[in-house]
Amino acid sequence: MAGPTAEIADAVDHRRMANGGCPGLCRIVAARDGGLCRVRLPLGQVSAAQLRAIAVAAARFGNGIVEATNRANLQLRGVGDDNAAALIDCLVAAGLGPARPETDDLRNVMVSPTAGIDRQQQIDARPLARELLALLERTDRHPIRSAKFGVLVDGGEGIAAIARPHDIWLASVAAGTRTALGIAGSPPTDAADTTPFVLIDPGDAAGAVGALLAFFDAAAANDRSVTRYRDLLVRDSRAAIFERLAGRLPGRIERAANHWRRLTPVPFGHIGLGAQLQHGLVFIGAVPPLSRLSPTMLDRIADIAEGLGDGGIRLTPWQSIILASVPRTVAHDAVAALEQAGLVCDPLHPLAAIVACAGSTGCARALSDTKADALALARAIGPAGKRPPTIHLTGCARSCAHAGVADATLLAAAPGRYELFANSSDANGRIGDANGRIGDANGRLRANGRFGRRIAGDLTVAQAAAWLSQPSALATGRGPSG
């Protein structure tokens, strides 16, 4: 932590318990169950000691609920207004704060949760990602840049959240000898994706990001509607932006680079046991049911990470955790310990595929208790012996808990009542694609709706379970049989 604790604590005074907006460490946002404090974790990683500090802070200053987010961060719920400064002081003392208070929102650099240990990776993305994180933290932020403005550094890993649109993305190409760069999108995996991107020298990657940030900030300074890179594309083409970029880089830039496609990541590869790049070691992915962790669970995870892993915890963009560098000889002991702590390590378990927002107990906009409904849904679906469809329960149309389009979405219409949407399906009844893409690389929504195709309405949880237990019903929209 660079900078005095008091400086960050003072910065919260005028932002405490803000009404709406994205929460942060210095900006605690009011929710139905109290204040919401989001802790941005550099590259999604946190030490065991820091995890214990979060557990203490959640129990002492919040309601004891900690949530894993879809940007690989952690957030504490139920923070009282009188506890805000003490909470922040506790977290900053644990090294969880930004270099400067005003840079908290800028710490949005995403890497694969298996960066550095993934057998499929072309490069270790972490050194570049750390360089970009430092660049963002020392750059003065224009006041209206979105708190969701983010950069992706993709090393070609088998486990990666490349489907969602990123403001700036970098991806390793040709065994790390070139770097693909794009804006307002993600690395293409589909042959039909014609969104422009360019290839640059890897040594120019940090400079390219710096230049793109400068372009953005100059535009945002004159137009308050510009908060994300996609906003610039309303008036400026990608080709024009890349042309300007070429004049700023010392190395060559290739504009006709649409022949490259990234390998599709492994669906559900972040759950369960996975062999590491390093011989004799494995990583273990575990899902906290519906993203929620108690202080006791956090303490237990920290103990397991120190006792059987490398002492660190990696958060994933799928609201789960990964423990890395576990000796293969004790891997099953680690899995058993995580399951005893209340986490799910089986990718075939229904709760491994269900995402739910805070629901009506935590959010005034939610029309149903989505957390309780999701648990009831998981019990009703039961084990199927095969990979379940991804299921998203959302209390309103804002879709805060899920960044993409799930195989199936349940949108609350009233307490305990939902509309059911299915992602597009093929002739074999497969629902959606493996990436769960939301629209195209430009962020445009699917033609048939925000969540896919609406196939049923006014469903109880039990009725929804009947639909979700039969993929053919979702594919055809004709209703479950039997």
Model pLDDT for residues 330-378, shown as the tens digit of each residue: 999 999 999 999 999 999 999 999 999 999 999 999 999 999 999 999 9
The DSSP annotation for 428-472 comes to T--BS-TT---SSTT-PPPTT-TTSEEEEEEE-HHHHHHHHT-HH
The C-alpha atoms of residue 65 and residue 462 are separated, in whole angstroms, by 27
Query: Rounded to two decimals, what is the model's pTM?
Result: 0.89
Question: How sure is the predictor about 482, in pLDDT bands with cuts at 50, 70 and 90?
Answer: low
Q: Do the domains at 272-346 and 351-476 have one common CATH topology?
A: no
8 contacts 40 by C-beta, under 8 angstroms = no
Residue 236 clears pLDDT 60, i.e. is over it = yes
Q: What is the pLDDT of residues 269-285, one digit of tens each?
A: 999 999 999 999 999 99
Residue 295 clears pLDDT 80, i.e. is over it = yes
What's the CATH number for 351-476?
3.30.413.10
CATH of 5-99, one of 3.30.420, 1.10.3470, 1.10.20, 3.30.70: 3.30.70
The C-alpha atoms of residue 144 and residue 220 are separated, in whole angstroms, by 7
Mean pLDDT of the chain: 88
The C-alpha atoms of residue 160 and residue 270 are separated, in whole angstroms, by 9
Domain ranges of the chain: 5-99, 122-155+162-246, 272-346, 351-476
Phi-psi region of 388 (alpha: psi -120 to 50; beta: other; left: phi over 0): beta
The C-alpha atoms of residue 451 and residue 338 are separated, in whole angstroms, by 33
Residue 384 clears pLDDT 90, i.e. is over it = no
Query: What class, spelled out in words, does domain 272-346 have in CATH?
Result: alpha beta
Residue 3: predicted pLDDT: 40
Structure tokens of 267? 């669906």
Residue 446: predicted pLDDT: 35
Residue 42 CA: distances (Å) to CA of 137, 144, 298: 11, 22, 18
Give the SS3 label for residue 242: helix
Which of 8-17, 104-113, 232-241, 316-325 holds the top average pLDDT?
Answer: 316-325
